[in-house]
Amino acid sequence: MVLQARKADVPAGDVEWKVRMRVCAWYSWLSGTPPAVTACNFEAVFGPDAIKAPAIRSLFRQFRDGHKEMCDLKRSGRPAVSTSANKIQEVKTVVTDQPRSTIASLARRTGLKYSSANAAASWCLTS
């Protein structure tokens, strides 16, 4: 029996999903498994939302270069507020309460940029 953990089952912005993927990729890298085979294995276990071969190659390069951190390092720059779980929930609440809201009014109510509000609303409606 193959266990599948779909990304759709994981809340948006969930760090645990990324860490799980990286740990599995690190194990594959240590085992000497090629990126293409690792990608096939990931898809068999995690389903179609698993990371693909190009991302796995990039991770393998990072591991080879000595970057073995499993969590994202702090970076400068603007945070991705539209993908935080709190913002997604806030957008979902506004969309549920007022389904005829425009993206512009949704952006004003949540404090997001127009494009971020549009992306968050699309994510809410498809999940």
Concatenate the DSSP letters of all residues of 75-127 into one string: -SS---GGGSHHHHHHHHHHHHH-TT--HHHHHHHHT--HHHHHHHHHHHHH-
Q: Percentages helix, strand, coil for the chain, rounded to the nearest 5?
A: 65, 0, 35
pLDDT along the chain (127 residues), means of 10: 46 66 89 93 85 91 83 63 72 86 88 84 75
Helix axis angle for 103-110 and 85-97, nearest 10°, is 130
Contact call for residues 47 and 4 (beta carbons, < 8 A) = yes
47: which 2 tokens? 């389903």
pLDDT given at position 37: 94
pLDDT given at position 30: 92
Domain positions in the chain are: 7-64, 81-126
pLDDT given at position 32: 94
pLDDT given at position 116: 83
- Say what the pTM is: 0.48
